[in-house]
Amino acid sequence: MYDMFRVLMMGIFTTILTLALTPLVRLLAFKVGATDKPDKRRVNKTIMPTMGGIAIYLSFFIAIFFLQPIALSVSVPLFIAATIIVITGIIDDIKELNPKLKLLGNVAAALVIYFIAEVRMDLVSIPIFGDIHLGIFSFPITIIWILAITNATNLIDGLDGLATGVSIIALGTMAVISFFFLGGSNIPVFIMIFTLICAAVGFLPYNFYPAKIFLGDTGALFLGFMISVLSLYGLKNVTFISLIIPITILGIPITDTIYAMLRRYLNHMPISSADKHHMHHRLMSLGLTHKQTVLTIYGVALIFSLIALLFPMTTIGGTVLILVALVIGLELFVELIGLVGEDRRPLLKTLKKIANKINKRDNP
């Protein structure tokens, strides 16, 4: 039996611990040269310390090992994998790793989760088709899931407080679903999610605009990795609903990643190349301030999260209708802000043609 009041108190202590650790990490970042210098790709105007994710990482695992009732069989493999991710991020924040080496670090952490933690997707249950055992495909699907979510979260870390806030919203939704919809067996997962939220909340005051420290690859990779792994605990035996819930919760980073890849493909650019056409860049180009852009994306992330909360309470038919509406609404939003390009707005152009035809019919 879990003492939820104690879990809550330890969560508050975790937040305080992050608040205390972050200024120390900030000093360390300056000392080791983990800084972001202003350039044409970045929005910061002064040299900013990065590597802030170390504070979240330390406070989370101090809480998991010493304060919260999490079994060592769960916490130790998770710690090993997360440490690989954090070391990869630290090196990248200090000397900018080659993308292949960064990917290698991510893969190594994912392998620990698959083989040591034994957290993986094994079975998919799809309406009409029934249960599908993944067999040998369990390995690549699990690894791809971890890598995709980890790097999608890292990709949106472009404005003060953006990746931290979006991660908190995603984790908060995961916590609600884990506690209220997935039953008592998921209480340890809920506790880990709740503890990570508390650790991230303690960092946000330093990271929100105007930021005193950035997450860096250390923090963005760590948060993305933890979200991917914690969501996997509910995806061991995947149903149609349990698969789309985390995808919907992570709608912002996933959307930004997919459309970035599409945009680069259409513009004949390497998929891994950087540009200034991500969601936050496009919103700022429309006249929103730094803070307004972050708050707007928080709002969109909350909409995704509220939609995700509907899935456990609806039928398959209702789920399909929600998904159709979500896809159409998302495409409209993407085209309105010009995420793929100012001249690539097929849905808006189609709606405009339909509207023109209606106008001609009504006004011959």
Annotated binding site for Mg(2+): 154, 217
Three-state DSSP string of 45-110: CCCEECCCHHHHHHHHHHHHHHCCCCCHHHHHHHHHHHHHHHHHHHHHHHHCCCHHHHHHHHHHHH
Phi/psi at 248 (5° precision): -70, -45
Tokens coding 243: 């698969």
Nearest in space to 214 (alpha carbons), one of 42, 96, 79: 42
How many angstroms separate the Cα of 22 from the Cα of each of 201, 226, 332? 12, 19, 39
